[in-house]
């Protein structure tokens, strides 16, 4: 029942009540005037008492009738009052308040700890690369309507780096039903089997460096954390609902010309940090990288690998007392190992002499880098499918320049060489050496 209708039903009862009340008052006044017109010696007759008594009865009776009518109609047709409903706070809003009120510590939500970790290492890495190049990175901060944002640090046409990008992103979003089903294929315990959408959070750092000198290798790094919010507990306030989370990441080297000392140093640095957490990690994640960075249509790898892992959750560290903490510390160690793994290599190769033909070969190898990233890379694919994605930051990984040459004598796929084999061996020995490793990955440590 609407408020207007309720008022309509009550109005007649109120008018009746007012009429009785006026009649009672008139009766009392008339009797009082009649009594006051008599002589003082004659005492007034107390005849107002019956009228007052009747007036009180009338009040009670009318009140009962009105309340009864209202109760009956309210139960039969409840009032549809237009009361504004306040929206519940989003996970992004809760996290923003938390960051302002309390310092991030070991006891903070993993979301906020990962955000702090990647931003700290972004600053460290950018500073170190600026010292080598002599040119400053452009810092581009951005935000998302759905929550979160990121910082893209990019250097182009530098003194050492043709293009270098160190990006962090903090993303709050929503998974559609198809996306939920895709993730359930890798996570059997994934919540949301009976929901149409899920909120998610993702934080990560992604780095790609393309040096100008073809003797200096391209390097890539990525560490990330992902979690979803159970629909019964969207902001994880009670801690009662099951939560999905996992880590991913790794680092890999992509040279245009192979220097075995560089390959060994890079892989040894990775192995050292892996061994601090688990002696099997390097072997497992090195093999994973060799498979992941494969370009099937070329039958070769993008580079000489490194380590790669994804979807690491509680099942990935069954012996750990706190699997989430163990995997977080593993990612932190990986980030700490980056500068020691790459800086000695770039310092040694950045000023080496090279020929125009060697520069062309570098451009051909960068073409392979583009092919892998646009066709097979998970991060690129997920980023471009995310509503409100920041495309410029996602495609930061692509080189500034690249080259595709039809039926190249060495790099062509599925074609016969168009030059004499003896001449080919003499002029492309170093290029052939690299391709042998790319087609058959080696153990470097």
CB 410 within 8 A of CB 435: yes
The SS3 assignment for 237 reads: coil
Known catalytic residue at 121: no
Q: SS3 sequence, the chain?
A: CCHHHHHHHHHHHHHHHHHHHHHHHHHHHHHHHHHHCCCCCCCCCCCHHHHHHHHHHHHHHHHHHHHHHHHHHHHHCCCCCCCCCCCCCCHHHHHHHHHHHCCCCCCCCHHHHHHHHHHHHHHHHHHHHHHHHCCCCEEEEEECCCCEEEEEEEEECCCCEEEEEEEEEEEEEEECHHHHHHHHCCCCCCCCCCCCCEEEEEEEEEEEEEECCCCCCEEEEEEEEEEEECCCCCCCCCCCCCCEEEEEEEEEEECCCCCHHHHHHHHHHHHHHHHCCCCCHHHHHHHHHHHHCEECCCCEECCCEEEEEEEECHHHCCCCCCHHHHHHHHHHHHHHHHHHHHHHHHHHHCCCCCCHHHHHHHHHHHHHHHHHHHHCCHHHHHHHHCCCCCHHHHHHHCCCCCCCCCCCCCCCCCCCCCCCHHHHHHHCHHHHHHHHHHHCCCCCC
- Alpha carbons 204 and 310: distance in angstroms, whole number: 13
- Alpha carbons 313 and 427: distance in angstroms, whole number: 49
- Alpha carbons 373 and 395: distance in angstroms, whole number: 9
- Alpha carbons 439 and 401: distance in angstroms, whole number: 24
389 Cβ contact list (under 8 Å, min separation 6) = 383
Catalytic residue (one of 121, 210, 220, 408): 220
If phi over 0 gives left and psi between -120 and 50 gives alpha, with beta otherwise, what is residue 230? Answer: beta
Handedness of CA 263, 267, 268, 270 (dihedral sign): positive
Q: How many residues does the chain have?
A: 445
Q: Catalogue the active-site residues.
A: 220
């Amino acid at each position: 029942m609407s408020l207007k209708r309720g008022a309509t039903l009550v109005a007649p009862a109120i008018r009746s009540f007012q009429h009785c009340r006026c009649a009672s008052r008139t009766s009392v006044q008339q009797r009082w005037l009649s009594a006051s017109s008599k002589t003082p010696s004659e005492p007034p007759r107390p005849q107002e008492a019956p009228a007052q008594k009747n007036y009180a009865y009338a009040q009670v009776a009318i009140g009962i009738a009105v309340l009864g009518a209202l109760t009956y109609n309210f139960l039969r047709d409840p009032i549809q009052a237009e009361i504004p409903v306040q929206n519940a706070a989003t996970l992004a809003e809760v996290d923003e308040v938390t960051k302002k009120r309390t310092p991030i510590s070991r006891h903070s939500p993993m979301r906020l700890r990962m955000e702090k970790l990647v931003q700290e290492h972004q600053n460290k890495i950018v500073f170190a690369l600026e010292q080598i190049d002599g040119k400053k990175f452009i810092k581009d901060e951005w935000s998302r309507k759905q929550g979160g944002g990121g910082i893209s640090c990019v250097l182009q046409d530098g003194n050492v780096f043709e293009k270098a990008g160190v990006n962090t992103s903090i993303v709050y979003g929503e998974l559609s039903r198809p996306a939920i089903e895709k993730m359930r294929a890798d996570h059997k315990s994934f919540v949301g089997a009976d929901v149409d959408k899920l909120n998610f959070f993702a934080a990560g750092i992604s780095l790609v460096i393309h040096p100008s000198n073809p003797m200096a290798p391209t390097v890539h790094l990525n560490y990330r954390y992902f979690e979803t919010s159970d629909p019964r507990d969207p902001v994880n306030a009670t801690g009662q609902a099951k939560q999905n989370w996992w880590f991913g990441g790794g680092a890999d080297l992509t040279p245009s010309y192979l220097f075995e000392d560089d390959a060994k140093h890079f892989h040894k640095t990775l192995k050292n940090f892996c061994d601090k957490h688990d002696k099997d990690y390097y072997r497992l994640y090195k093999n994973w990288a060799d498979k992941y960075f494969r370009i099937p249509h070329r039958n070769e790898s993008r580079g000489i690998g490194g380590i790669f892992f994804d979807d690491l959750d509680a099942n990935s560290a069954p012996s750990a007392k706190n699997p989430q903490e163990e995997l977080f510390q593993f990612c932190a160690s990986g980030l700490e190992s980056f500068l020691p793994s790459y800086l000695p290599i770039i310092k040694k190769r950045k000023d080496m002499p090279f020929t125009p033909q060697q520069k062309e070969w570098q451009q051909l190898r960068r073409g392979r880098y583009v092919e892998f990233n646009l066709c097979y890379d998970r991060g690129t694919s997920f980023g471009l499918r995310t509503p409100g994605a920041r495309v410029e930051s996602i495609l930061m990984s692509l080189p500034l320049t690249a080259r595709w040459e039809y039926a190249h004598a060495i790099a062509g796929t599925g074609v016969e060489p168009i030059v004499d084999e003896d001449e080919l061996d003499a002029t492309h020995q170093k290029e052939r050496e690299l391709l042998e490793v790319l087609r058959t990955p080696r153990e470097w440590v």
